[in-house]
Amino acid sequence: MKRKLLTASLFMLSAAMLGMSGTTFADDDDKGGGFMSRWFGGNKPGVAPVTNPQYLEECGSCHFPYQPGLLPARSWTRIMATLDNHFGENAELPAEDARMIKDYLLKNSADGSGYKRSVKIMNSLRSGDTPLRISKTPYFLKKHGELRPEMVVSNPKVGSFSNCSACHTQAAKGSFSEKEILIPNFGAWEEDDD
């Protein structure tokens, strides 16, 4: 009797989980739904959009304001500790401004995020990896591996993988869905069916 009850309970739990998920198991780039996606890839699509006005003003005035959920806290800590040589530029800020921005970045980093891409970025890193560039994370490299140089680095309208918003039309909102990619001079991104 106990065995039948246990089997029935497991069946009902499995059915409930599938029912909640809409039975989506695929790695769906465009939705936050699906049991497997929520379990292994976060419960919300993309990354959390930037909400800090000071970060937008100070950092976004020079480059795309990368969402904190694109890197782990240890990466943001190192980046903020070296603002005097920020990828070859002096980006020093008054101490109080730097502290407030660092606090925002750490609080919203990929480590504790429930957003799908943040979780996948963290899952792609080895323990202790401290990438200083989003474009150096294994997840990023995998997702961008099919792009030819003429589409990005030799493309005068893109120029670099760090120019997210050149191709990701909704990047500022934290959405990096393949359906929203429009590569200047090349058009919409289309996955091969192979």
Q: What is the pTM of this model?
A: 0.77
pLDDT digits (tens, 9 = 90+) for 14-69: 444 444 333 333 344 444 444 444 444 556 889 999 999 999 999 999 999 999 99
* pLDDT tens sequence across 70-112: 999 999 999 999 999 999 999 999 999 999 999 999 999 999 9
**pLDDT tens string 140-177:** 999 999 999 999 999 999 999 999 999 999 999 999 99
| Angle between helices 95-107 and 73-81 in degrees, nearest 10 | 170
Exposed/middle/buried for 164, CB within 10 Å: 0-12, 13-18, 19+? buried
Nearest one of 172, 26, 184, 13 to 35, comparing CA atoms? 26
